[in-house]
Amino acid sequence: MTSPTAYDAAIAGFEPVIGLETHVELSTASKMFCSCSTEFGADANTQVCPVCLGLPGSLPVVNRAAVESTIRMGLALNCRIVPWCRFARKNYFYPDMPKDYQVSQYDEPLCVDGYLDVTVDTDEGPRHFRVEIERVHMEEDTGKLTHAGGATGRIHGADYSLVDYNRAGIPLIEIVTKPVVGTGTLAPLVAKAYVTELRDLMRALGVSDVRMEEGSLRCDVNVSLNRPGDPWGTRSETKNVNSLRSVERAVRSEIERQADVLSSGGRIVQETRHFHEDTGRSTPGRSKEQAEDYRYFPEPDLLPVAPDAAWIDELRATLPELPALKRARLRQEWGISERELQSIVNAGALEQVAAAVAGGVDPAAARKWWTGELHRIASDRDLELADVPVTPGHIARVESLVASGSLNDKLARQVFEGIANGEGDVDGIVAARGLAVVSDDSALLEAIDEALAAQPDVAEKIRGGKVQAAGAIVGAVMKATRGQADAAKVRELLLGRLGVSE
Ligand code: ADP
Ligand code: MG
Ligand code: ZN
């Protein structure tokens, strides 16, 4: 674990600059330059052809759907779509890449100069940052190597390696930010908020299924530090950071590491680093001191991509309501503060709350249950929120029972627990578990008398005018009735019994 003090010390002495490169697999039916399927999970090397295997004489053709997805993404990121651009060959050898070059875009990306606004929740309220986008370009994915026979699954210590080319040629887009400055101590959270927003944007556009655990969204995290007033420092690039949480952790741990090096008089070398999910730390990879020479040149086998204005307008018209606008609209419709909305977003409950409200549940109640009890149930059981089997109908029924006084929040939590267990519907669970608020005054008075007898000193205090002490008796009564009493009612009866007023 990173210690907060090491981080605080680092950030007190240095200003961080961050930059994110995000690779996303597009969810087109076929690959970038051939008609092979992109379906995930097929047997190794069953989705390949001469083009994606790089066999001599094969000719690639650009996938129109991939270009459309890239343009839509560029538009959603407020980019300029260039009228003409080409693919380039990036030459290097690696066994996961059968052609010995990757077809990518180099100095002629399809989309340039955009931005994405993100919000970070802080103790002082939400803060907004504009992350500027340098470029969005198209490229193809490589195959996948599996290193077998070793203990770690890494190439070191392996007996042999297997290669699966099903992924070779799957369309990727790479989204590169400009250096992000001025985030200070919030840098790790800004990085995470940016990738989260990007993911939500792509989901809304339907251009990718953005499943980080399947590797369809991968981030490289660039970090540098400088003393206030100095020029930017040398950056490191932490590769393949594969979860939202890791994006935050990778930035945080790199800030700590670089501050350590710089504070003790060392210097940062420009290098790639590898992030380890288990330790939350990174280890050095390739040094970039001598920049690799990929001998980029324009891809001679592919036509340039030249989207005309009419096509771009057509694609612009297909953009759905984007997440930021949707949030603003919902916030207004629900009449809640930005911070309250942010708490829903942070709990990953926006869709659930929206569905509940659409199903007739009061927005405040929907928010309370989905960010509270239902969120807790999901994390306790390692479920996605979407997989908690609570419907708007369930919430509406629970709320009406609470409103009529026959359930309280504590009992309602048990009802939701029961629904998550598959014990039936609300009324069935209330009956089967015997959940009902005890509203019979005589039963409550009996419990109050018992509690007073058990704590005579407290009883004396209350009689003497110390009404604050009443909480202890109310608590004892709530316990005795297993939470099935209305606490306000118990308090009222108790004070009446002792003849004191608030
Ligand atoms: P490369 O392929 O060498 O990684 P890119 O241009 O694709 O280069 O990406 C570099 C990333 O690093 C960009 O997101 C850029 O904004 C970011 N970056 C550039 N300079 C710095 C710096 N001094 N500190 C942090 N990030 C930086
Ligand atoms: Mg890079
Ligand atoms: Zn193919």
Residue identifier of the C-alpha nearest atom 17 of ligand 1 = 19
Q: Which ligand is nearest to the CA of 51?
A: 3
132, 114 contact by CB (below 8 A): yes
Report the C-alpha gap between 400 and 286 in whole angstroms.
Answer: 62
Report the C-alpha gap between 246 and 262 in whole angstroms.
Answer: 24
User: What residues does CATH 1.10.10.410 cover in the chain?
Assistant: 441-498
List the chain pLDDT tens, one digit each, 502 residues.
445 589 999 999 999 999 999 999 999 999 999 999 999 889 999 999 999 999 999 999 999 999 999 999 999 999 999 999 999 999 999 999 999 999 999 999 999 999 999 999 888 888 999 999 999 999 999 999 999 988 888 888 899 999 999 999 999 999 999 999 999 999 999 999 999 999 999 999 999 988 877 778 999 999 999 999 999 999 999 998 988 889 999 999 999 999 999 999 999 999 999 999 888 899 998 776 666 789 999 999 999 999 999 999 999 999 999 999 999 999 999 999 988 998 898 888 999 999 999 989 999 999 999 999 999 999 999 888 889 999 999 999 999 998 888 888 889 999 999 999 999 999 999 999 988 887 778 888 888 999 999 999 998 899 888 888 899 999 998 888 887 888 888 898 898 888 887 7
Buried b (16+ CB within 10 A) or exposed e, 383-392: eebeebebeb
Q: Which ligand is nearest to the CA of 180?
A: 1
Mutate to test the pocket of ligand 1, among 115, 177, 235 (most ligand atoms within 8 A of CB): 235
Q: Which amino acid is at 292?
A: E
For residue 423, the model assigns a pLDDT of 95
Distance (Å) from CA 60 to ligand 3 centroid: 9
Q: Show Cβ contacts of residue 41 under 8 Å, excluding neighbours closer than 6 positions.
A: none
Q: Show Cβ contacts of residue 56 under 8 Å, excluding neighbours closer than 6 positions.
A: none
The residue among 448, 442, 388, 443 whose CA lies nearest residue 418 is 388
Output the pTM of the full model. 0.82
In three-state secondary structure terms, 244 is helix
177, 30 contact by CB (below 8 A): no
Residue identifier of the C-alpha nearest atom 24 of ligand 1 = 224
For residue 153, the model assigns a pLDDT of 82
**What residues flank ion ligand 2 with Cβ within 5 A?**
21
Residues with a CB atom less than 6 Å from ligand 1? 17-21, 176-179, 222-224, 232, 235, 237
- Token digits of residue 96: 């996961």
Distance (Å) from CA 239 to ligand 2 centroid: 8
Residue identifier of the C-alpha nearest atom 13 of ligand 1 = 19
For residue 289, the model assigns a pLDDT of 60
In three-state secondary structure terms, 35 is coil
Residue identifier of the C-alpha nearest atom 4 of ligand 1 = 237
Ligand 1 atom at shortest distance from the alpha carbon of 220: 4
Ligand 1 atom at shortest distance from the alpha carbon of 234: 23
For residue 290, the model assigns a pLDDT of 63
Q: 115 - beta bridge partners?
A: 132
HSE at residue 370, side-chain half, CA atoms within 13 A, is 35
Ligand 1 atom at shortest distance from the alpha carbon of 222: 26
| Integer CA distances (angstroms), 40 to 65, 166, 214, in order | 18, 9, 9
Ligand 1 atom at shortest distance from the alpha carbon of 180: 16
Q: Which ligand is nearest to the CA of 236?
A: 1
For residue 222, the model assigns a pLDDT of 98
For 306: left if phi > 0, alpha if psi spans -120 to 50, otherwise beta; the answer is beta
CATH of 441-498, one of 3.40.50.300, 1.10.10.410, 2.60.40.1260, 1.10.10.10: 1.10.10.410
